Amino acid sequence: MPEGDTVWRTAKHLDQALTGRVLTRTDFRVPAFATLDLSGQPVNGTIARGKHLLTRIGDDHTLHTHLKMEGSWHLYRPTTSWRRPVHEARVVLHTEEWHAVGFALGITEVIPREDEVDAVGHLGPDLLGPDWDEQEALRRLGADPLRPIGEALLDQRNLAGVGNMYKAELCFLAGVHHDTPVGEVPDLRRMVRRAKQVLEANKERVQQATTGDLRRGKQLWVYARGRQSCLRCGTRIAYDENGGRPAYWCPVCQPLRTDSRP
């Protein structure tokens, strides 16, 4: 699933390409909105809210999309071929200059502008948003001190923007196993600040890194490095499928106390 910085960058590109331009055609390829036509309406902006995208069209409508696991937005010039299969397209927004195509989106809906809060109001403080509130994020994370820190970080109601990759990397950087209860994390504030730091550092670039090294195979400490050597201590990285959301950790750098298991 894309991380918050990827969604932020997607919003930026859509905003730059579409804002201020009039839609010449709209094609919503989901049953609930298949007959909706917003052509002739201007695009007023696109913003990211955690992992959600809100594209405001005209005075009344907002296109709410979410990439989920496989989704992506592409921008094409009108004569350019698409890089993903046509059948994966869920929405196409046409302007004279650009075709914005949302592929395999997990959510595609057009909502009244005043209903945006219903779509994203449940989210916690956005790590890359203007509403970022460190103290509120800490309060929400700490509300359930027995919850595993990995689960708490992924819960977008606590703080918005951390996905599975950053969960693994933040736990490694904090020296804690992802099953460690929130209340036993030595410095939760430092972990939250580091989350903000790494997303800010990566939001403008395609190649994400948490190690400070952009060389191939050196960008990440543990994520997607199962059975490879830990870059810090040399121990083989542990790996668990974890119900389709794989977990990665170093058994030496991130020991789990037996009394910390949930």
The string of pLDDT tens digits covering residues 2-36 is 899 999 999 999 999 999 999 999 999 999 999 99
**Domain presence at residue 140:** yes
The pLDDT score that the predictor gives to residue 2 is 85
In our burial notation (b when 16+ CB lie closer than 10 A, e otherwise), range 209-246 reads: bbeeeeeeeebbbbbebbeeebbeeeeebbbeeeeeee
Which residue range forms the structural domain that includes residue 216?
134-260
The pLDDT score that the predictor gives to residue 186 is 95
217 and 115 belong to one structural domain? no
Final residue belonging to a domain, choices 120, 145, 176: 120
Top-confidence residue, 206 or 60: 60
111 and 138 belong to one structural domain? no
116 and 140 belong to one structural domain? no
222 and 148 belong to one structural domain? yes
Tokens representing 222 are 């543990």
144 and 254 belong to one structural domain? yes
- CATH at 36: 3.20.190.10
Indicate which residue of 88, 113, 245, 246 is catalytic: 245
Indicate which residue of 9, 49, 51, 90 is catalytic: 51
The share of the chain scoring above pLDDT 70, in percent, equals: 97
152 and 254 belong to one structural domain? yes
Q: How confident is the model at residue 244 (pLDDT cuts 50, 70, 90)?
A: confident
Residue 223 has pLDDT above 90, yes or no: yes
232 and 143 belong to one structural domain? yes
Indicate which residue of 3, 90, 181, 203 is catalytic: 3
**Domain presence at residue 126:** no
Q: What is the DSSP letter of 236?
A: B
49 and 141 belong to one structural domain? no
100 and 163 belong to one structural domain? no
153 and 241 belong to one structural domain? yes
**Domain presence at residue 129:** no
Final residue belonging to a domain, choices 120, 154, 187: 120
Q: How confident is the model at residue 258 (pLDDT cuts 50, 70, 90)?
A: low
Q: DSSP string covering 44-78, please?
A: EEEEEETTEEEEEETTTEEEEEE-TTT-EEEEE-T
**Residue 3 falls in the annotated catalytic set:** yes
Q: How confident is the model at residue 259 (pLDDT cuts 50, 70, 90)?
A: low
- Residue 185, number of CB atoms within 10 A of its CB: 21
Looking at the structure of the chain, the number of domains it has is 2
pLDDT in tens, 124-182: 999 999 989 999 999 999 999 999 999 999 999 999 999 999 999 999 999 999 999 99
**Domain presence at residue 166:** yes
The share of the chain scoring above pLDDT 90, in percent, equals: 93
The pLDDT score that the predictor gives to residue 42 is 98
**Domain presence at residue 175:** yes
Tokens representing 9 are 């960058």
**Domain presence at residue 128:** no
**Residue 245 falls in the annotated catalytic set:** yes
pTM of the model: 0.93
The pLDDT score that the predictor gives to residue 85 is 97
99 and 42 belong to one structural domain? yes
**Contact criterion met (CB below 8 Å) for 105 and 34:** no
Side-chain-facing half-sphere of 201: CA atoms under 13 Å:
16
12 and 101 belong to one structural domain? yes
Residues ≥6 apart with Cβ < 8 Å to 188: 138, 141, 142, 182
**Contact criterion met (CB below 8 Å) for 129 and 107:** no
The pLDDT score that the predictor gives to residue 242 is 76
212 conformational bin, left if phi > 0, alpha if psi -120 to 50, beta if neither:
left
Residues ≥6 apart with Cβ < 8 Å to 154: 162, 163, 164, 167
Task: Give the chain's length.
Answer: 262
pLDDT in tens, 35-63: 999 999 999 999 999 999 999 999 999 99
**Domain presence at residue 161:** yes
**Domain presence at residue 218:** yes
Final residue belonging to a domain, choices 79, 95, 120: 120
Indicate which residue of 2, 125, 148, 181 is catalytic: 2
Tokens representing 37 are 């036509």
The pLDDT score that the predictor gives to residue 127 is 98
- CATH at 186: 1.10.8.50
The pLDDT score that the predictor gives to residue 227 is 94
